Amino acid sequence: MSITIIGCGHVGLVTGICLASIGCEVVCLDHDTQRILLLQQGHLPIYEPHLQDLLRRGCSAGTLTFTSDFVKALDDSDVLFLCVSVPQLENGDSDFSSLDAAARQLAKAANSSKLVIVRSTVPVQTGEQLKRLLAVYRSRPDVSFSVAANPHFLREGTAVDDFFHPGRILLGVEDAQAEKTLRDIYRPILEQTFSCPMHVEKCCVAAPRLLVTKLRSAELIKQTSNVYLAVKISYANVLADLCERLGGDVQEVTHAVGLDSRIGPLFLNPGIGFGGSKLPRDIRGFYHLAERLNVEAGIMQAAERVNRDRIGVFFNKVQRSLWVLKDKRIAMLGLAHKAGTDDVRGSPALELYERFISAGASVRAFDPKAIDQARSVHPDMICAIDAYDAARQADALIISTDWDEFRSLDWNRIHGSMARPAIFDARNLLSPFEMKSLGFEYHSVGRPL
């Protein structure tokens, strides 16, 4: 099947490259000519585990091409995946300008009928608006557009694995032909007839569930899922605050709570809050949607407020221990909003960095993948070559992103190089007992000292 991906951001690249890996002929389209040139040369503009290797394979096999020419991209494809970003405005409304521009261009460039599949996370009723827009701007009366929704559930850092081994595939359709086409696209994954290109053996992996719903329901399901996860994270942070005041251990509490099958253990991890471009946007957008429709949604507003306050709570913990932050040397391990990605959009780590700088501290930072992205936001950032370089002569070390490699550092070496061996673990990555046994002053989130 020939498919065009419109938008070469994280979602578009993962979707396009992975579809090319299961037998589709894929053209990825983006208006950013520099990005397209980079991709044509075999280089990714983002970091995502396994994706670089799949890009190389797809280009070598000829199943994957990149272009900024709209007409060329649409010529041989009857199926189009819209993977265009829909950012959020200050007032909580969505900025549809990029989606609108892409829809107008494809409507004018299309010379045959197309199935347009919305892959991006979008507010409810976006599909209906898109159908009207495509009908108005089509250049030929014999061209028609069918619109469907196929929301992604791709987590940064595990997106490739999520694509090949999803828990569910969601199709929001309004006609039988659109459903058949989408079923055909995902058949190798639904029936598990493809050979995993990552050479990762999945033992006893259940086939993904296929959910077919109405278009609006699919849009609502995706947004609702993200909002619920955000609420769980904020709930865990409230539990952490209670544990600190009452002397409990939040990890013991959340472990026991997560054993309840009605709740589950995932996303019950306290820290400095959720970041990135999706959860903060979706919880704000969902709350504003409910408010406009006169539906009580105070729980979402409360979850957003709890998350917004996490940076201040943790910053105050560091400040109380160090007393004066001015001229103190701070080592920060982690700048990405989560492990497994170089994405610093909405990163709590960057906001914490800004707080320390504003307080007069000298910060030396390290991240395995996100240094360049962080420097694009803060060109004056002092970056270390590794974690040991960051810790040298530091008065405090902050673990601000949960990279697994930070667990296995030589902490004896770090202890010997710091001016004051104080660790502030914003991700509860390390063992309090082990750190104290090594002689560190150790602080974490919701766990007893």
Which pLDDT score is estimated for 204?
Answer: 46
Q: How confident is the model at residue 86 (pLDDT cuts 50, 70, 90)?
A: confident
Q: 67 burial class (0-12, 13-18, 19+ CB within 10 angstroms)? A: middle
Separation of alpha carbons 389 and 130, rounded Å: 51
Distance of CA 246 to the CA centre of its chain: 34
Decide if 70 contacts 109 (C-beta within 8 A): yes
Q: Do 147 and 118 touch, CB atoms closer than 8 A? A: yes
Res 91: pLDDT: 76
Domain boundaries defined on the chain = 2-212, 222-303, 310-443
Angle formed at CA 432 by CA 262 and CA 155, multiple of 5 degrees? 45
**pLDDT value at position 449?**
73
pTM: 0.90
For range 410-437, the mean pLDDT: 97
pLDDT in tens, 127-184: 999 999 999 988 888 889 999 999 999 999 999 999 999 999 999 999 999 999 999 9
Tell me what pLDDT residue 286 has: 87
Share of the chain above pLDDT 90, in %: 79
If you write DSSP's letter for every residue of 383-448 in order, what string do you get?
E-SSHHHHHTT-SEEEE-S--GGGTTS-HHHHHHH-SS-EEEETT--S-HHHHHHTT-EEE-SSS-
Question: How many Cβ atoms are within 10 Å of 446's Cβ, its own excluded?
Answer: 24
| CA atoms within 13 A of residue 330's CA, in its CB half-sphere | 32
Q: How many other C-beta atoms can be found within 10 angstroms of the C-beta atom of residue 124?
A: 20
274 has a pLDDT exceeding 50: yes
310-443 CATH: 3.40.50.720
- Percentage of the chain exceeding pLDDT 70: 98
Which range, 220-229, 277-286, 365-374, is most confident? 365-374
* The predicted structure's pLDDT at residue 322: 95
Q: Scanning the structure block, which residue is given the tokens 């495509």?
A: 134
414: Cα within 13 Å, side-chain hemisphere: 27
Q: What are phi and psi of 310, to 5 degrees?
A: -65, -40
pLDDT computed for residue 198 by the predictor? 62
Same fold for the domain at 2-212 and the one at 310-443?
yes
CA distances from 95 to 61, 91, 92 (A): 37, 10, 9
User: What is the gyration radius of the CA atoms in the chain, in angstroms?
Assistant: 24
Which CATH architecture does the domain made up of 2-212 adopt?
Answer: 3-Layer(aba) Sandwich (3.40)
Phi-psi bin for 276: left (phi > 0), alpha (psi -120 to 50), beta? Answer: left
Question: For the segment 194-247, what is each residue's pLDDT rounded down to a tens digit?
Answer: 777 665 445 445 678 999 999 999 999 988 999 999 999 999 999 999 999 999
The pLDDT score that the predictor gives to residue 205 is 59
CATH assignment of 222-303, among 1.10.1040.10, 3.30.1490.20, 3.50.50.60, 1.10.599.10: 1.10.1040.10
Residue 446, pLDDT score: 95
Mean pLDDT, the chain, integer: 93
How many residues appear in the chain? 449
What does DSSP say about strands 422-425 and 441-443: parallel, antiparallel, or unpaired? parallel
